[in-house]
Every structure is written in structure tokens, then in C-alpha cells.
Chains A and B, each alone.
Chain A
Amino acid sequence: MPLAKPMCKPKLISRKTLLKAGLALAAAPLLRYVPAYAAAAEVSEVAPGVFVHQGRYEVQSPDNRGDIANASFVVGSEAVAVIDTSGSAVMGRELRDAIRAVTTKPIRYVINTHMHPDHVLGNAAFKQDAPIFVGHYKLARALGTRADGYITANKQMLGEGAFAGSEIVLPTRLIKEPTTLDLGDRTLLLEPQATAHTDNDLIVTDTKTNTLFLGDLLFSVHVPTIDGSITGWLTLLNEMGKRQAARVVPGHGPKTMAWPEALEPEQRYLAAIADDVRRQIAEGKTLAEATKTAGFSEKDAWKLFDQYHVRNVTAAFAELEWE
């Protein structure tokens, strides 16, 4: 039973891997909500040494155990870096099992692209590796002030079983300017961003393969969510589109996407909201009125539109009315 899907180098399933799989399955009864398939997250090698797990296009539930965002890892000659850990400790454990099926190298860094629970609640599963938890220099404050609310909300949405063991693990390495992390013959470039999706967005580039991890600065299929600044996000996307990358990994969407085309639908979505909201503000319309029509041209272009769009319009209105 394959636990990982190698792309470039066909891997024989070694006895060691099978034994590990057996142990993982033996542990399964402890994870009450895990069905009978493999206990490791399904990952794809999108570039040599770059593995991505794709999350579902859903809101958190006991059934999906918070598996609603992408999570990735990069393997160097000495060490591994994890980029986002999914939305629960149980999912973090499954990601960790997927890493261990591929390599035994130490997990040196756990990088969170931003504060949202679906990208950080799996951190707890990696504490045993004593990695350095890394994030944008504003991540610690952002998580610190939201921890209580995130825990309560996610416990409610996932249920006690799927939530068990999840906790907020704060970063200790805070990135204030472009920084490189060395994994052995492989460097990751980390760049903190100005407020866009959130006020603590961090992007990662695997320089070896020129793979760009944008976290939730890029959504595909799943409607984008505005929890920072719509104007900041639009400005950032304009600039970001000018850089080179061999491929991009979004926070929600297919495991790998062509660059820079991947940005276009999201730019169109945010611009539709910004244009409609600005016009309504100029017309003297209220927030309540704007939420009924602004950006609804995008209704059929995105999954989970009904769950998140009006909240996006609310956030945009509350920001743009100050222009």
C-alpha cells in the first residue's frame, strides 16, 4: 500500500516502509475518526524533493478533520522543512507519517505561511521533532490574540475526537526580512509580506526547483478569504506576478499550478469586489446594502462562495470606506 506518490524517482516500497505502515495502522484505533485506509496523508512529489498534500474544498468538519488546506514539505540532503501543517493534530500526524515514508532526515523547520487554523493546527504533531517553528514576524502576535477563539471554534467544528491534541504552537523564529534556511544542498528563501490575505503572510521559495509556495496569498477553486487588506492584496499580486517561478503551490487549490496564470482568477475576484464596493460607497450605500450585490458576478466561479463571499464584502467595505 503506497504511502506516498513519487513522481520523478520510482521508489520501491521497502520492508522498512511496510513495517512503518503497519505500525501506523496499528496506532489507528487511537485515532477514532481515521477510516481504514492508510494513516499517512496523500502527497505528490511536484518537483524533485518537493511534496504537496492537497486539502479538500470544504469547511472544517469531523469528517474531514480539518483537512481543508494544502500542506507541503521539502527534503534536503540534511534536513526537511514543513510548510503548513493542516487543520488538526491528527492531520499533522498524517503529514508527518507521509514525510517519514519518504525520508528519515530530521524535520528541522516547521514554517507556517500565516495564522489561519487550517494551516497551523497540525503544528502540535511535530513538537516531538523539536523543530524550529518559523513564521512572519507578526505571526506570534496574530496567533497569540486569536488562540482562544481559534481553539474554541475548531473544537466545535471538528468535534472532540478529530480535534484531540490540537493546540496553538507559536513560532520562535520570526522573519522580518528575506531569510534563507539551509536544508543541506538546498536553500529555502522566506519573504515576509505586507498585509494582504492577513497581516502575517510569509512566502517560501525552494530555490533548487524554483517552486514558489504562496500560502493563502493564492487561492484556486476555493473562494479567496479576506482577513487582512483587499487593497494590500491587490497591490501585492500585481508585484508578485512579475517575478519568475517554475511553478506555484497555492494555500488552497491544485498541488501545483502554472505561473503566473494561476493568479488571474483571484485577481479578477478581488477586483470585482473592490470595484463594486468602491462604487457603492461613493453612492452613499450602506454596508448592509453592499453585501447584497457586490462581487456577485463571481458567484459561479468559486467553491464555498456562499460560505465566505459576504464576509469578504463586509471586510472590504469596512476597509474601503476609509479611502
Chain B
Amino acid sequence: MPHSFNSIARSCGIAALVASMIVLGAPGAQADENVWPILKEQAFGDRPIQEEDGMVVLETPSKVEDAAIVPLTVRVPPSVKGKLKSLTLFIDQNPDPRVATLTFGPAAGTGGERSFSTRVRVDNFSHVRAVLETEDGSLHMTTKFLAAAGGCAAMQAKDPDADTADMGKTIVRTFPPAIESSPIWAAQVMIKHPNHNGMQLDINTAQFIPARFVKEMTVKRDGELVFQLDGTFSISTNPNFRFTFGRGEENDLDVVIVDTDGTVFTGQSRPKGS
């Protein structure tokens, strides 16, 4: 995604070492309300969105320590019955405000708390939003504020050579619940991938490091779709996802990941062996 250097400088903001800028709670100086109406229109047209009705909860760190790796968790309480249709995450002030969209399938599960966690880059003080679409097609949103900056400037890997050697390594891990008959199980997918945003200038070469990031991830349990995720470079280096799924027979998970280069990576978990 080509950008002029000036727009990079503007959008990249302040790098992650600014410990003194971390603020708790209240919104900062950025007036980002004018961004959301546009995002909302593009994603949902004129559909009404219920806000803060308890259908979806967002957990964010009270203090952001590393704007390039900010853990987020979305929870849908057990009181929410029925299947979920989709979940969309936004970070208003990021160069690409869409973080991810999950479209749920029959193996996503019901009958317990459902959750999804990942790690994101936060480029500037911003609202972060989770919009849940329930079975009846209604939309529900929760919003938090993140005081952080520089996630896009600080995005480079600490050991790029080691990561390149391992690039594409995919690990899928299942977490059976304490009561195995519980209808909701948890799992984690992690992939070694730089998730380059294409906005990082290398002054040695005067070139931007090309964008290359995880675009799509499909998770199936026993061959049935749990969800398909459409991602952006707002997801941190070495994308990491933790999520719930509906218990099945074998609970074999198969994961297929495609990046913007069209490279395909796969991973699997076979809790019962084989």
C-alpha cells in the first residue's frame, strides 16, 4: 500500500518509547468521533447498532506498554444465547482502522462464554471497538479507549533473521476445559509472520519494506467451519489468536492461513493424537 513519506510521518505519530505519554482512562486530545461514522457506514450501512448493552465486552490493558503488541480480548457472556454471525474489531486512528472481521460457522459453538483474543498494533491514541452481529442480525458494540502510540513505527521484529528462518511456522494448541463435556472449548493459533504494514521506510535503501500480512484465516473443527477471519496489518507481528469453539467428536482443528502474497500456511491440532 504505497504512501508518501509525509503521510507516513503523520500517520505513524509517536514511537513506542514515550512512557510519559501513557494516560489512564479518559479520551485524549484526538477527536476521532469523525472517523467512526465513516467506518460504520462502510461496514454496516445504516443498520442500527446497540451500544454497551452487555452483549459484547472488550478487555484492554489499563496501560499500554508496547504499542506494537497490545493484547485485546472480546467476550460474549453466557447469557447471550444462540449462534453468533460475525465479530468486527476497529481501531479508529490506525492507518487501516479495521483490525479483523470474523464470520462464524456452525462449529463456533453455543452454550457458554465465547471469546476471541489477539494482539494488535496501536498507532495513536484511539477508540477500539468490537461489533458483534448476533443470530437475529442485530448489531451490538462496545468501545474502549487506548492511550498508546507508535505501533506502526515500532512494528519491526527484534530478530528479523531468526524470524525469517522460521517464517510460516504455525502452531495450533487446544485447551480442553476442566469439564470435558462442556460445550465450549478453547484453542490458540499462532503463526511466525512479520505482518509488514508496508509503511516502514528503510533509510539504507530509501525503500519501504513491502506490505505482507495475514489476510485470511480459516479454522475448522472436525471439518466444520468455526470461523473465517479477514485480517489486516493492524494485527501484530507473529499473529496470535486465542478463541473458543464448539465441542465436537474428535475436536480436530485444521487451520489454513493465506497472506497478501498468496502464500498458504497450515496448522492442525489433534487432541486425541493420530
A149 in contact with B12 given A287-B119, A288-B73 (CB within 8 Å): yes
Q: How many Å from the CB of B10 to the closest CB on chain A?
A: 10
Query: Is A153's CB under 8 angstroms from B158's CB?
Result: no
**Interface membership of B264, Cβ < 8 A:** no
Query: Is A199's CB under 8 angstroms from B161's CB?
Result: yes
Question: Of B19, B175, B203, which contacts A147 at CB under 8 A?
Answer: B203
Query: Is B20's CB under 8 angstroms from A152's CB?
Result: no
Chain A positions within 8 Å of B240 at CB level: 287, 318, 321
Question: Of A154, A156, A195, A315, which contacts B66 at CB under 8 A?
Answer: A315
**Interface membership of A193, Cβ < 8 A:** no
- Closest chain B residue to A149, Cβ basis: B153
| Complex Cα–Cα for A208 and B203 (A) | 37
Chain A positions within 8 Å of B65 at CB level: 291, 310-311, 314
Question: Of A146, A153, A168, which contacts B156 at CB under 8 A?
Answer: A146
Query: Is B18's CB under 8 angstroms from A157's CB?
Result: yes
Query: Is A286's CB under 8 angstroms from B161's CB?
Result: no
A144 in contact with B202 given A288-B73, A291-B65, A315-B158 (CB within 8 Å): yes
Q: How many residues of A contact B (CB 8 A)?
A: 44
Question: Of B150, B160, B175, B204, which contacts A199 at CB under 8 A?
Answer: B160
Interface residues of A in 132-160 (CB under 8 A from B): 138, 140-141, 143-150, 152-154, 156-157
| Complex Cα–Cα for A168 and B158 (A) | 19
Q: How many Å from the CB of B191 to the closest CB on chain A?
A: 10
**Interface membership of A104, Cβ < 8 A:** no
A198 in contact with B175 given A152-B13, A288-B61 (CB within 8 Å): no
A153 in contact with B14 given A286-B71, A287-B71 (CB within 8 Å): yes
| Complex Cα–Cα for A149 and B68 (A) | 12
B interface, size bucket: 35 or more
**Interface membership of A322, Cβ < 8 A:** yes
Mask, A207-233, CB within 8 Å of B = 1, is 000000000000000000001110010
| Complex Cα–Cα for A143 and B205 (A) | 12
Question: Of B17, B169, B238, which contacts A157 at CB under 8 A?
Answer: B17
**Interface membership of B122, Cβ < 8 A:** no
Chain B positions within 8 Å of A198 at CB level: 158
Query: Is B19's CB under 8 angstroms from A227's CB?
Result: no
**Interface membership of B24, Cβ < 8 A:** no
A195 in contact with B203 given A149-B154, A288-B71 (CB within 8 Å): no
Query: Is B16's CB under 8 angstroms from A148's CB?
Result: no
Interface residues of B in 73-101 (CB under 8 A from A): 73
| Complex Cα–Cα for A293 and B41 (A) | 42
A229 in contact with B153 given A144-B202, A157-B17 (CB within 8 Å): no
Main secondary structure of the interface of A (DSSP, over half): helix
A145 in contact with B156 given A59-B20, A288-B61, A310-B65 (CB within 8 Å): yes
Q: How many Å from the CB of B19 to the closest CB on chain A?
A: 5
**Interface membership of B107, Cβ < 8 A:** no
- Closest chain B residue to A304, Cβ basis: B19
Interface residues of B in 142-199 (CB under 8 A from A): 150, 153-154, 156, 158-162, 166, 169, 171, 175, 190, 192
**Interface membership of B69, Cβ < 8 A:** yes
Query: Is B61's CB under 8 angstroms from A152's CB?
Result: no
**Interface membership of B228, Cβ < 8 A:** no
- Closest chain B residue to A143, Cβ basis: B203
Chain B positions within 8 Å of A83 at CB level: none
Chain B positions within 8 Å of A199 at CB level: 158-162
**Interface membership of B201, Cβ < 8 A:** yes
**Interface membership of B55, Cβ < 8 A:** no
Query: Is B18's CB under 8 angstroms from A227's CB?
Result: no
Chain B positions within 8 Å of A138 at CB level: 161
Query: Is A229's CB under 8 angstroms from B159's CB?
Result: yes
Query: Is A314's CB under 8 angstroms from B153's CB?
Result: no
List 25 A–B pairs whose Cβ atoms lie within 8 Å, in order of A's numbering.
A61-B20, A144-B202, A144-B204, A145-B156, A145-B201, A148-B153, A148-B201, A149-B12, A150-B15, A152-B9, A152-B13, A156-B18, A157-B18, A157-B20, A195-B159, A195-B162, A229-B159, A284-B175, A287-B69, A291-B65, A310-B65, A314-B66, A314-B69, A321-B240, A322-B171
